[in-house]
Structure 1
Amino acid sequence: MSEERTLEKVKSCAWWQSCRKETIEYCHTCDRCQKESRSTGKKFGLMIHIEEQKSPWEVVHMDWVTTLPPSGDRSDNSCLVIVDRYSKTPIFLPCHKDDTAMDTALLLWSRVTSHTGLFKNIMSDKDPKFKYALWTNLHRLFGTKLSFSTAYQPQTDGLAERMIQTLEDMIRRFCAYGLELKGSDGFTHYWCTLIPALELAYKTSVHYSTGQTPAMLEKGWNPRLPEDTLRKDLIEIPPTALHGTNAVQVELSGELENKHPTFPLSLIKPNQPADKKLFPLRNPIPLTVPPVEQNEDKKIKKVIKERRLRGKNQREYLVRYRNAVYEDEWLEESEIPDSDKLLRKVRHERRPQA
């Protein structure tokens, strides 16, 4: 109960000259209320100011994205995000959510510190034991002895968390339309193949707080980019009728005709068409339609094993069907429906054990 509620209860049965003052004082000094009531106001103490750095890669912010599907040859299901506090340069490293502090230290040793050198401080929301083990293992790889008197600072801010939101948005925008580049043979559904391109895109974009690109602040120059880039726009679907106050019916055509035409308003947003005179090359690309479900009679039960084709950088997988009438068959990854899920176990078994 609050002070005002207690005061109203008291007034309903009694009153004296200093009734309000003494009732509020009684509530303020109640031992049980002070211990058990939830604090809803501002926290005590001053905000801790993080000293701004004068050169890149002195202080970094580190966090993990752990809500990603398995991807790549190692079935990576997480992404380590490292952000330089000075230049705002990000580094995205696919990894596993169950990686130990030693696994993370080896990842930093092999992929990061060879370019940036050793950091002065790592800010992370991980528990102190993990950070202690990470620092210890990283210094052990460098052959140095660690002293936490100057390096260890437990405070953090939202820089890595904000970078994670940006990374998730970028991955979602590309994964939704199957635009992930696989190599010489087309496309795939692995988010980890997007990481180098997304990292380059962010490094060459102007950051609002610095007025410069992260690459310019870090290296003094911006990387060269290809002149021609693919423009991906959503198809324009004109609404035809409103259903109640929270749904709309749209006009679908072509490959989308078999889809239900009514969508909730939360999935609809206005499309801003480009001026053809100003942007003559900006042509919308049709929305990719998911493949039709496989016939239940010939649905794949599991992937038994894999093999690499001689003289080709390509793999085939031996699959077993649910219906025993069909014999086991070797198929390419592109021929396996829902291949990401079916191949997860095979890739996990192929992953070297630590």
Structure 2
Amino acid sequence: MVLRALHDQHGHLGIDKTYGLVQDRFFWPKMRETVEQYIKTCKRCIQRKTLPVKAAPMGHLKSNGPLDLVCMDFLCIENDSAGIGNVLVVTDHFTRYAQAFPTKDQKALTVAKTLWQKYFVHYGLPNRIHSDQGRDFESRIIKEFLSLLNVNKSRTTPYHPEGDAQPERFNRTLLDMLGTLPHVEKRAWSRHVEAMVHAYNCTRHESTGFSPYFLMFGREARLPIDLRLGVSSDGSRLVSHYQYVKSLKQNLQRAYELSTQSAAKLNERNKRRYDAKVKYREIQPGDKVLLRNLGVPGKHKLADRWKDILFEVVAKLPGLPVYKIKGPEGRIKAWHRNHLLPVLYSQEELQKGNEESENIFAPPVRGMEETVQDCNVERAKEKTLESTDRSNEWWMVLLLLLFFIYKAPAYSAALYKTLLSSHLPLLP
């Protein structure tokens, strides 16, 4: 095939470049359409060149109050002088109240001890804990630990941090804050984490309109400058316990309503901005898809963007853009829609396409000579037709000139010059 030689064996160039190569050498009817269709269905081009797109609308985790949903994640930083290079970040989804605990490793036992000793005994047990699919968060130790405490566990889909966005955003904020430390202090950054996190919790949050500290405890934190300048009014008047609880309840109820409304508006604005870039296409059970080539170790600039294994869609999780897919070995996995590429060919065709493209400088295929001859014959016929058309047009000009000479001799000389100059390129 011509296209196999000028596309598959010519570096898998794009439509315009491949069409240019073909056009310079051959001709057949609807040649451009043939080239486009061939390249759009090229297996190697699909695996390597098809860019991942946002294929599913944005979704949001929902919570109804403090400690209804707690998210956790690990932040990795270069080791400090104490050998600490990890931070376990725990964020309350409703209040945005965050805590960060430096650790030397990410082992499941370390996670369990830190949650119990530094979070649960201070703030109480959450209704649900949400994390990514890190092996330490999904280990048997964590499952049994949370099951013992009757705490529910949920997780994001693989390689989709948007499903657990709060820790990701806080991680960036914490890194920016630690990055402002003097060079000498950065060597012992773990000693500054608690103070940085407290400063974050005392600051009004964009999404809620309140500080995380206030939404968690019902009052603003008293800072050193408040005491020095006497600007804090907390404790300035005596009230009974009953009055304090009543006032606290009213204030928190109003604050929760306002923060929920503010967060909903921000989420809706972010969703509109995100969904504007989404090219959504629903996939159905039984459809064939490729899986995005993620988690490739080391440098992978030359790696295919999509794996060479064809998966079948089994089911869609209710209310989520997450699909269960089954590979050739029968194992079922759950993946976000953004990491799936619908295709129309079979596993055998995919493997055949990869095998044919292993050597892009392979010798010409059988039948190539006949194809070249046929195309050259077509081009010769086309040139003959063009030459005939030009000759016929020239004879029409001569007949028209003779007619005017016979009918109007006075204008014949000027007319002859005009026609000759305007049709000179038509001479055979």
Would the alpha carbon gap of residues 121 and 3 (structure 1) be closer, same or farther in structure 2, given more than 3 Å must change? farther
Residue 68 of structure 1, CA deviation: 3.5
Residue 132 of structure 1, CA deviation: 4.1
Instruction: For structure 2, list consecutive stretches of 5 or more residues without a partner in the other structure.
Output: 1-12, 229-428
- Take 1:153 and 1:174, find their aligned partners in 2: how far apart are those partners? 33
Q: How many residues align?
A: 211
Which of 45, 59, 75 is 1:65 aligned to? 75
Name the aligned partner's letter for residue 93 of structure 1.
F
* Correspondence list, 1:255-274, <5 A: none
1:61–1:122 Cα contact (<8 Å) kept: yes
Tell whether 2:31 aligns with 1:23.
no
Name 1:33's counterpart in structure 2: 45
Residue 7 of structure 1, CA deviation: 1.4
SS at match of 1:88: coil
* Correspondence list, 1:175-194, <5 A: 175-176=182-183, 178=185, 190-194=188-192
Alignment deviations for residues 186-228 of structure 1 (CA, whole Å, 9 cap, x no partner): xxx6333322221211111011122111112222211111117
Alignment deviations for residues 280-331 of structure 1 (CA, whole Å, 9 cap, x no partner): xxxxxxxxxxxxxxxxxxxxxxxxxxxxxxxxxxxxxxxxxxxxxxxxxxxx
Q: Provide the identity percentage.
A: 22
Would the alpha carbon gap of residues 138 and 107 (structure 1) be closer, same or farther in structure 2, given more than 3 Å must change? same
Residue 38 of structure 1, CA deviation: 3.1
2:128–2:152 Cα contact (<8 Å) kept: no
Would the alpha carbon gap of residues 195 and 32 (structure 1) be closer, same or farther in structure 2, given more than 3 Å must change? closer
- Take 2:41 and 2:147, find their aligned partners in 1: how far apart are those partners? 53
2:80–2:190 Cα contact (<8 Å) kept: no
TM-score (norm 1): 0.52
* Correspondence list, 1:278-297, <5 A: none
Bigger relative CO (Cα 8 Å, ≥ 6 apart)? 2
Name 1:267's counterpart in structure 2: none
- Take 2:92 and 2:35, find their aligned partners in 1: how far apart are those partners? 53
Name 1:53's counterpart in structure 2: 63
Name 1:159's counterpart in structure 2: 166
Tell whether 2:180 aligns with 1:170.
no
Would the alpha carbon gap of residues 41 and 18 (structure 1) be closer, same or farther in structure 2, given more than 3 Å must change? farther
Name 1:102's counterpart in structure 2: 109
SS at match of 1:216: helix
Would the alpha carbon gap of residues 226 and 121 (structure 1) be closer, same or farther in structure 2, given more than 3 Å must change? same
Would the alpha carbon gap of residues 134 and 119 (structure 1) be closer, same or farther in structure 2, given more than 3 Å must change? farther
- Take 2:108 and 2:61, find their aligned partners in 1: how far apart are those partners? 26
Name 1:42's counterpart in structure 2: 53
SS at match of 1:82: strand
TM-score (norm 2): 0.44
Tell whether 2:131 aligns with 1:123.
yes
Greater share of helix: 2
Tell whether 2:143 aligns with 1:136.
yes
SS at match of 2:70: strand
